[in-house]
Structure 1
Amino acid sequence: MPHLLIFARHPELGRVKTRLAATVGAEGALAVYKELLAHTRAVVAPLPVHKTVWLAEAPTSPRQAAEWPGYEPLLQPAGDLGRKMQVAFEHAFAQHAGQVLIIGTDCPGLTTAHLTEAFEALHTHDVVLGPAADGGYYLLGMRQLYPQLFQGKNWSTATVRAETLADIRNLNLRLHQLPELQDIDTSADLNAWQISSGRTLVPGLRVV
């Protein structure tokens, strides 16, 4: 069974999209995050795969506990982002997953077709990468664990993609890359995506 892993947070005021909130306010950032969550769930829904949501915090109410029906809910472990992702992949492979993808909830351009392409590519490639416009990546997939991909990275910086690609080359792995997409972390990201897509994520939201 293929596995899809999602890293997410509960949509709570003041606890999501803090860099975006610096310019659009906490309520605006929460509205954006809720739209991104809804989009992520929608594009994932048609996939016949095992779905695990790795949450940054434990649910504090029945409403939060019911936010991800049909998903295996787990808590992200301690450590940096690389450590968290490595543990998530280890858990999936321990359940005998044949192909494993990990995504976040920041990419409004992600489609079901991208995810389907990634799973299909893992039949003939060792690694799949979805490059993000900020120099990171919005998707990573593999057929077995390669711990090097999660180590020695300056996470949340513009060098992550280049560092990961260097590891893939050094390991002589067969790589399939998806189209570059825009993650939404700042108002500049949101502006860039809305201009390039011709869409508005949250109608009426003033983006500085």
Structure 2
Amino acid sequence: MKVAIAVFVKTPDLSPVKTRLAATLGRVQADAFFHLAKAANEALLAQAVPDFAAQGISLSAYWAVGEQQGLAHPLWQSRFMHRLHTGEGGLGERMHHVYSTLLHTHDAVLLVGMDSPQNSVSNLRDAAQCLRQPQRLVIGPARDGGFYLFGGNTPVPLSRWTAVQYGQDDTLQQWVAALHGYDIHYLNAMTDVDTAANLRQMVAEMQGELLPEQLALRVFVQGLPHHADSADSYS
């Protein structure tokens, strides 16, 4: 079984990154989180490759880069991760493009953001294993009403992706409604870090043996002043 995991990213200096986080923490701390989260995601996927292989799954990992120029940026150069452009348009169009492109060459595709670096290899493995069943989708719900992971082994028409308003409290509800008729498997809910108030919940969700890059994130959050998220609200 061949599985692709694509991590959606935007490139600093080419696109705004972590703007909501910067509004509370300041740009320096928001940038620090961005780079720590990037390192944690890359380390997680590096660990997932041999883990998946032991389960008979050939895993290919990709940075899904939001800007064409960003493909050449040093930040996304990796010894094992590939790169592809998300294409243009809104988030729905971009996710459809990446999902459809990778589904041509893989048995199943998982799409994730970079904002849930507390994710685990076992959770990703569960997502991939459920896609051994034909004609199935998998969703990881985010606690803010969206989703941190989407995957599948069957085509999903563009019209389904564009029927959703992303970044809303009911995005997941809209997405599930747009996917009526599909067999959907759900993973455990997880926090998607958009604001400072999400950071401590992200740390609380870190389970089991953590990667050094995840431990670095925990140290970063523990070092923040407790008033840093006082103007924020967790949803």
TM-score (norm 1): 0.88
Q: CA RMSD in A?
A: 2.4
Alignment size in residue pairs: 204
User: Cα distance 1:121–1:195, how it changes in 2: closer, same or farther (>3 A)?
Assistant: closer
Matches within 5 A, 1:78-117: 78-95=88-105, 97-117=106-126
Aligned to 1:4: 5
Larger displacement relative to structure 2 (32-41 or 113-122):
32-41
Q: Secondary structure at the match of 2:48?
A: coil
Residues of 1 paired with 2:87 and 2:15: CA distance?
A: 22
**Gap regions ≥5 residues in structure 2:** 50-58, 208-217, 230-235
* CA displacement, residues 139-179 of structure 1 (integer Å, 9 cap, x when unaligned): 001001112541211111111111122233x21x2221100
Larger displacement relative to structure 2 (30-39 or 46-55):
46-55
**Gap regions ≥5 residues in structure 1:** none
Q: Contact 2:6–2:112 (CA<8 Å) still a contact in 1?
A: yes
Q: What is the aligned-residue identity percentage? A: 26
User: Cα distance 1:33–1:113, how it changes in 2: closer, same or farther (>3 A)?
Assistant: same
* CA displacement, residues 38-61 of structure 1 (integer Å, 9 cap, x when unaligned): 111121112331112111232387
Larger displacement relative to structure 2 (82-91 or 120-129):
120-129
Counterpart pick for 2:165 among 132, 154, 179: 154
Aligned to 2:210: none
Matches within 5 A, 1:110-189: 110-124=119-133, 126-147=136-157, 148-168=159-179, 170-171=180-181, 173-189=182-198
User: Cα distance 1:139–1:201, how it changes in 2: closer, same or farther (>3 A)?
Assistant: farther
Residues of 1 paired with 2:156 and 2:204: CA distance?
A: 37
Q: Secondary structure at the match of 1:23?
A: helix
User: Cα distance 1:140–1:73, how it changes in 2: closer, same or farther (>3 A)?
Assistant: same
Q: Contact 1:13–1:27 (CA<8 Å) still a contact in 2?
A: no
Aligned letter for 2:149? L
* CA displacement, residues 48-103 of structure 1 (integer Å, 9 cap, x when unaligned): 3111211123238763352x3322212221111010000001111222x1011010
The CA deviation at 1:9 is 2.4
